[in-house]
Structure formats: C-alpha cells, structure tokens
Amino acid sequence: MTRTGASALDLLAGELRQLRTEQGLSQEELARRINYSSSLVGMVEIARRTPSLDFIRRADEVLETGGLLGRILELVSLETAPAWFRPWVAVEQEAATLRWFEMSVLPGLLQTEDYARAVLRDGGLVPDDEVERRVAGRLQRQQILDRPQPPQLVAVMDESVLRRPVTDQFDLMRHQLGHLLTLAARPQVHLHVIPADVGVHAGIAGPFILAGYADGGWVAHLDNPLRAQVLDRSDEISSLHRRWESVRSEALSRRQSLDLIQEVAKTWS
C-alpha cells in the first residue's frame, strides 16, 4: 500500500482513466480500439478487476503511454502476492531462465485458475477471501510467460503430480493437463516428467526453483508451510544446480513427457 492508502491497482485504475480522458476517448471507444468489452474497461477503471497483460499492452499502445501502464501492472503483481513471497515475485519478473522442480503439485506458473484455487485453499486452512487474493496474484505472475520475450521455463515434475486429484472434480484435472499441453507447445516452455518407476530420486527432498539472470547470475527459491526463502550464496546455488541435474537426468525427454501427460489426461474422465 502507498502512504495515502491507495493500492497499486488503484494507481493503475486512475492512470488508465486519466490517460483515456486526455485522449478524448470514452470507455466504449477505448474498448473498441483494444478489442475488449466496455464493461471490463469500466471495471478496471474503478479497480474492481485486475487487467491481463494483453489488455494493458493494447491500452499502452492505443494511449501512447510509452509502457507506463505495463510498469504499473508489475507493481500490482508484487502487491497481490503475500508479503513473504514478494521478493521471489520480483526475481521472476527479471529472470531470463527458470528451472523448476515440483514433487507434489504443478508449478504455479503452469496452473489453471481452478487448479490454483483448489491448491491454495490448503485443505481449508486459508479463508476464502485470502484464497481469492492469492489466486489473483498467481494468475498475475503467470503473465510473464505472455511477454514478447518471456523467460525460458524448464519444469520437471514427478508423475504423481499428474495423477493426484486436487478436488473430486475430475474434469478440473483433465482441463489442467490440457492446459499443460497447450503451454508446452510454446518454444520457451519445456516440461519433463519423472516416471513413477524411477522410485527414490534426488527430488524427494522437496521442490525448488532456480532463476537465472541475463548477466549469468543465479538465485534460488525454497519454501515451506510458513515462509519462503530466496537464496543467492554460491555454495547453496551450486548444491541446487547439482540436485537439478540429478532430477533432470531421471526425467523423460520432452516428447516422451508430453506423451505421458496426454495418456494421464485420458484417465481423468
């Protein structure tokens, strides 16, 4: 929150409204030019909806802002994340490469809204309003994959992740695995699965993420039910790189992994 009590979303709403007005456009005219509904424009302008990256990118172009709205949207992404997670969200925004291993659930950047909501309920331990806030934050984070120059995301996951129901609604899992296949068609997204018959492997110790910057630097992310850690000590990064190479070597190839995801998706019916 800012000192005046306004949120980053409030700031985004106010700037969009002012820029539109300065251009002499009504909400309906702006909506037509960016190919979105006028009702959505109206909701964004009163801070009732968080716009997508595509919405903001088009608005920046039409309103000739020099990318102002996009820069504010990055602040919205930080603000919607829990305070303890914000340092990592900032890392994601700058990363050129993400190497992500998961043992229990799908990587957050690959989750559908419904899957994310089911996971973030944390077995009913998180209040509904907080769940919705976290879902919004997670969806906002995912928009880094829609950038003109997105980070390369290499995700390795245990096969059990594909077969673990997060609710009793099997169509949710079928849709989620279909979403994985859609994302995997993008050149910068690489998915790999460690098959169940591998047994014990280096990833059993827990999930982790390595983020590489364009200048060659690396930082890492570890978390537990209480807090997240962002690590940058060279010995810790080296240790996680070795662990990454170990889990990656146990995983199927990209093509084999996609075939397995397709096969498992058919079982969710």
Residue 161 domain flag: yes
CA atoms within 13 A on the CB side of 239: 11
Residue 221 domain flag: yes
Q: Please report the pLDDT score of residue 225 as a whole number.
A: 64
Tokens linked to 85: 């997670």
Which residues make beta-bridge pairs with 212? Answer: 97, 218
Question: In the chain, which stretches have pLDDT less than 50?
Answer: 1-4
Residues 63 and 96 in one domain: no
Q: Please report the pLDDT score of residue 3 as a whole number.
A: 38
In degrees, rounded to 5, the angle at the alpha carbon of residue 268 between the alpha carbons of residues 263 and 269 is: 115
Tokens linked to 221: 């992310």
Q: What is the CATH number of the domain that holds 139?
A: 3.30.870
Q: Please report the pLDDT score of residue 210 as a whole number.
A: 98
Residues 74 and 138 in one domain: no
Residues 64 and 90 in one domain: no
Beta-carbon contacts of residue 154 (< 8 Å; ≥ 6 apart): 97, 98, 99, 100, 190, 192, 248
H helix or E strand, kind and range, residue 20: helix 8-22
Identify the domain boundary among 78, 102, 128. Answer: 78
Dump strand ranges (E) for 140-185. Answer: 152-158
Provide the residue type at 267 as one letter: T
Identify the domain boundary among 60, 78, 96. Answer: 78
Q: Please report the pLDDT score of residue 226 as a whole number.
A: 64
Neighbouring CB atoms inside 10 A of 227's CB total 10
Q: What is the distance between the alpha carbons of residues 172 and 240, in angstroms, rounded to a whole number?
A: 33
Q: Please report the pLDDT score of residue 68 as a whole number.
A: 93
Q: Please report the pLDDT score of residue 262 as a whole number.
A: 97
Residues 183 and 243 in one domain: yes
Residues 97 and 228 in one domain: yes
Q: What is the distance between the alpha carbons of residues 231 and 16, in angstroms, rounded to a whole number?
A: 37
Residue 57 domain flag: yes
Residues 20 and 141 in one domain: no
Residues 128 and 242 in one domain: yes
Q: What is the distance between the alpha carbons of residues 104 and 227, in angstroms, rounded to a whole number?
A: 17
Residues 162 and 203 in one domain: yes
Residues 162 and 120 in one domain: yes
Residues 88 and 72 in one domain: no
Residue 236 domain flag: yes
Which residues make beta-bridge pairs with 100? Answer: 155, 209
Residue 43 domain flag: yes
Residue 106 domain flag: yes
Secondary structure letter of residue 168 according to DSSP: S
Note the pTM of the prediction, 2 decimals: 0.75
Residues 69 and 114 in one domain: no
Residue 256 domain flag: yes
Dump strand ranges (E) for the chain. Answer: 97-102, 152-158, 189-194, 208-212, 218-223, 228-231
Range of the domain at 259: 83-267
Structural domain count of the chain = 2
Q: Please report the pLDDT score of residue 176 as a whole number.
A: 96
Q: What is the CATH number of the domain that holds 51?
A: 1.10.260.40
Residues 52 and 71 in one domain: yes
Q: What is the distance between the alpha carbons of residues 185 and 181, in angstroms, rounded to a whole number?
A: 7
Residue 3 domain flag: no
Beta-carbon contacts of residue 258 (< 8 Å; ≥ 6 apart): 181, 184, 191
12 near 69, Cβ under 8 Å? yes
Identify the domain boundary among 78, 95, 113. Answer: 78
